[in-house]
Structure 1
Amino acid sequence: GWEQFSLDGVRYEAFNTSGGLGTLCETWDGHVRELNYKTVRYQGHCELMQFLVNELRLNQDRETLQHILERAVPVTFQDVVVTFCTAAGWRHGQLVQISDARKVYARMIDGENWSAIQITTAAGICTAIDLFTHGQIKQQGFVRQEEIDLETFLANRFGQNYVTEVTTRFAQTTTATPAR
């Protein structure tokens, strides 16, 4: 589940994680052959965390791990959240791949510094609540994140935090000749 990639000249690594997946597997079961959901970090993050958690066995002493991280890793408001989505499949007899890569950066909101992770985390839940309270989500009870139409989500005042300039070199639809 671990891989490396480069986006706009910056090296990243992506690996499976327990957070964020939600109900995607259940929703797409039987509709897609392969579904990967990974967290993206700067290159080297995974190896360092595995050393701390596994080699030093700090997974058994979370208080010490927290103490080390809080003293060694500074709080920053200069982070970036990268989303990268690729879908491939057959359309009109051609194998087609569509990719979308976006970056959300930290910034000032109403005179306060917000990190990119704060912005994207808050924007997701605030958008869902805002859409529900304004009658744009018709379901009652539990609403899966993927049940909210993307265009409706992005048009919302909170969802607009996810609207960024799409990295154009990935935003093009590419086609490949089918293997026979």
Structure 2
Amino acid sequence: MPRSNAPLLLLSLLPLLASAGYDKATKDAANKCCPADYMRHCMQAIEFQLRLNFRNKAAEREATICIQRELYSDDSLNVVSPKTLHCCNVFANDPTDRNNVCFNACQNASLSASIKPTRKLAIIRECRETNRQVKYFDSCRRYINGANTFKDLLMKTQLKYSCDIAKIKGPNY
């Protein structure tokens, strides 16, 4: 019995079928924000809520910010975005999180343009059952977004102090 070429034909059509399923918002954001040579990658990253991965990291950051702005709003950038990425450093080198689960979750959420900003915040806040560092992350975000209150400055000082104490006391802190 001759073997059918139908499975091969179907496999060759999958990329076309997949790209046909993108909604208008995804296509519009990718067209406006992504370089032509990364268009397909951008649409997939938007659709599947993944991080972009460009060789040029500055272009990647610009595209990520642009996509999030197009899909959600300018205000969404103040919640969680590449703009607040360095706030993830509050989770780095946490002696109670040796695998950097919260740090990695924060970075991935910050750099995934198509995840809703409120969901990004939930991912970061819920990266572990007891997330003591999240208050420092929130303080950092407020500070970056211009809330230069005395309380924010105190939190910044407390963050530095907590990091220094953790280094002195070691992994049981």
TM over 0.5: no
TM range (shorter): under 0.3
Per the normalisation by structure 2, the TM-score is: 0.25
Higher strand share: 1
Which one has a bigger Cα radius of gyration? 2
